[in-house]
Structure 1
Amino acid sequence: MPAPELDLTASVVDIARQLCDIPSESGDEKAIADAVERAVRGREHLEVIRDGDTVIARTLLGRDKRVVIAGHLDTVPINDNVPSRFETIEGREYLWGRGSVDMKAGVAVQLKLAAELDAPLTDVTWIWYDHEEVSAELNSLGRIADARPELLAGDFAILGEPTAAVVEGGCNGSIRFEVRAFGTRAHSARSWVGDNAIHKLSSVLDTLAGYEPATVEVEGLEYREGLNAVGISGGVAGNVIPDEAMVHVNYRFAPDKSSEQAVVRMQELFADFDVTIVDRSEPARPGLDAPLAQDFLRAVGGEAKPKYGWTDVARFSALGMPAVNYGPGDALKAHADDERCATDEIIACERGLRRWLVGE
């Protein structure tokens, strides 16, 4: 098979389609990373660095500010939604296909501008990275932050996650934990000599079912929290009283607190049970009070919204950079079998980001 090529002189919508037609499930990003590298390497205004299947291209113009603009190259598994196609629904044109929303349309915007803008008002570091859709320890942004943090340095960051072409500030944090109850095994015919661990979880389920998610205002944005059971296990056999049972819980929390504070809160809520933390992701504050963020918001227009899900803006926030999400596509269509991105949102994001970077 010939190596895929990207034509960055094409329209941003056509570039998005080119990207969608290069399969790049997580762990199989080499072909698309090769295509991206070839497309930007050799451009005189860009220094290009390859780190694994991550491509970094940056201007070195000596500006007093540097902006980091990033997007991931990988997708969730394909399910009969490649190759891409265009379709019109109720008079609106969509690019249909895996990755169109999450987030190859956003990457197309970035590639188009990276290739064409040789004198932006700020220096820009463009990052196209791998392994975003899988476990956090595989995410290449984390690897680069640990090994080569200077490549991620900047004063403000923009992540091209799907936001329907509006700015979404920061993101909620997330912890996953297991709540366990213990009892005593016995034959189910003589259950009174045992102690049923599954029954003990009833109060945990009652707490989860009755929990009212908080809405927390942070820097003018309202973040909605969530606390939900996402799994449950227990039982030994059909005639045995179980001596252990577990509920797997996910807590999405606003960026007014750290993951450590969220953990303490959950440990207090389930104080009568054994709580084991499985995974945690720090939130990111909106950062919209930063001057660069204010300029960006004015340039692209609209009213900023909160990001309810966790995104890699949290990684930039941890490095001391205010960071926002801004990209085409309806997040509700991310990962869906009918994943599709409105082409007018792709064009709007290109125009908005271009306007900010060149001061039009």
Structure 2
Amino acid sequence: MPDTERAVPLLDLAATSVELTRQLCDIESVSGGEKLIADAIMAALAGCEHLEMVRDGDAIVARTTLGRDRRVVIAGHIDTVPINHNLPVVEQDGFLVGRGTADMKGGVAVALKLAAELSAPPVDLTWIWYDHEEVDSALNGLGRLARTRPDLLEGDFAILGEPTSAKIEGGCNGTARANVTLRGLRAHSARSWVGRNAIHDAAPVLAILAAYTPAHIEVDGLVYREGLNAVGITGGVAGNVIPDLAVISINYRFAPSRSAAEAEAHLREVFDGFEIEVTDMAEGARPGLDAPLARLFLAAVGGEAAPKYGWTDVARFSALGIPAVNYGPGDPLKAHADDERVAVSEILECERGLRAWLSAP
């Protein structure tokens, strides 16, 4: 049944954040199908007089306007990768198991509960729940807001509720994709000596990748590990033809101290003499832990911050000049897995940490 014909599910904001996680996960919201869960969030917050609500497609922004001298943005995506017989959610041995539990409806639930309950925080708050994070970056709801309504993203500090096992992870690595193309000459495989095998010519490129030593780069007190890897290889046209073309797809994860131009220059230096085309580039984000609000947040949550090795939407805030960190329940290694799960204790810990920080005088 199309979303437009389905009743809007009821979310119980008086329930625990654990039960709210279950309720959110049981609303299927694979990328492109977020309307129903967005409707449910809008309906649940409709009675919160302390929040100013804005909806942009299936992205929802809820803001306090208390005249505080600082503003914090807390964001999370409401879409998931496709389900695979892993809904509805079940509880097993202290975990909620099912699609979206780790990535990232546990974080969404904590934010939703706190958005409803914290009517007089010491800072103004902007809560954002957005669509299309798990698909092409051009569709990303937070990116769309950054382009069309950057005023809604304004703040002094931002938190993204991506899974971090309830620990603070500062900034994120950048990511680049590139293709190295090898060109040969087609020939019948029975007379291979009259051709040139492009796949064989890929061997030196693979040797470079195999021998590559990733850099460990300290940025504002956190050490980011880089990575350079082949993630795909194509070539060949038929079982009896010497291939005249081979393409190696490469992914480069680079420290947030490097700009996009520096990352591309490094790729071209590593593969000097080969035909290379950079096909995609997203800069990382510096940790942002030197911001005054970040220091207060770290003190409230406790523990030590770690670097985020993968790329996340904190980079979108960083590009707007807003320091940002990742903080949410769930093991990132379980994101997208068929046995995706989140520890109940981590949901409760994230709620405790954020509530303590946002309730302090």
TM-score (norm 1): 0.97
Distance of 1:228 and 1:107 partners within structure 2 = 33
Q: Say yes or no: does 1:19 pair with 2:20.
A: no
Count of aligned positions: 356
Matched, 1:155 2:156: yes
Partner residue in 2 for 1:38? 43
Runs of 4+ in 1 over 2 A off after TM superposition: none
2:58 maps to 1:53:
yes
Q: Distance in 1 between matches of 2:176 and 2:89?
A: 35
What does residue 246 of structure 2 align with? 245
Name the structure 1 match of 2:77: 72
Moved more, 48-57 or 238-247: 238-247
- 1:42 Cα deviation (Å)? 2.9
Give the SS at the match of 1:264: helix
In 2, Cα distance between equivalents of 1:273 and 1:295: 49
Structure 2 residue 355 is the aligned partner of structure 1 residue 350 = no
What is aligned with 1:132? Answer: 133
CA-to-aligned-CA distance 1:45-69 (integer Å, 9 cap, x gap): 0000010000100000000000000
Matched, 1:225 2:226: yes
Correspondence for 1:274:
275
For 2:174, the equivalent position in structure 1 comes to 173
How far 1:183 sits from its partner (Å)?
A: 1.3
Q: Deviations over 1:240-272 (max 9, x none)?
A: 111111100101111110122111110111121
Report the residue type matching 1:230 in the other structure: V
Secondary structure at the residue paired with 1:120?
coil
TM-score w.r.t. the length of structure 2 is 0.97
Letter in 2 for 1:190: R
Q: Percent same amino acid at aligned positions?
A: 66
Q: Given residue 143 of structure 2, which amino acid in structure 1 is its aligned partner?
A: G
User: Aligned-pair distance for 1:2?
Assistant: 2.7
Residue 65 of structure 2 aligns with an amino acid whose one-letter code is L
2:331 aligned residue: 330
What is the alpha-carbon distance in structure 2 between the residues aligned to residue 99 and residue 237 of structure 1? 42
Q: Paired residue for 2:3? A: none
* Structure 1 unpaired stretches of 5+: none
Deviations 1:200-227 (A, max 9, x none): 1100000111111111111111111111
List runs of 5+ in structure 2 lacking aligned partners.
1-5
Give the CA RMSD over aligned residues: 0.9
Query: Greater shift after overlay, 50-59 or 208-217?
Result: 208-217
Amino acid at match of 1:329: G
How much does 1:358 deviate? 1.1
Matches within 5 A, 1:184-333: 184-333=185-334
The offset of 1:44, in angstroms, is: 0.9
Give the secondary structure class of the aligned counterpart of 1:57. strand
SS in 2 for 1:106: helix
CA distance in 2 between counterparts of 1:118 and 1:171 reads: 31
| SS of corresponding position for 2:199 | helix
Deviations 1:251-300 (A, max 9, x none): 11111101221111101111211111121111000010111100100011
Q: Could you tell me how far apart the structure 1 residues matched to 2:49 and 2:8 are?
A: 23
Once residues 112 and 139 of structure 1 are traced to their aligned partners in structure 2, the CA distance between those partners, rounded to angstroms, is 24
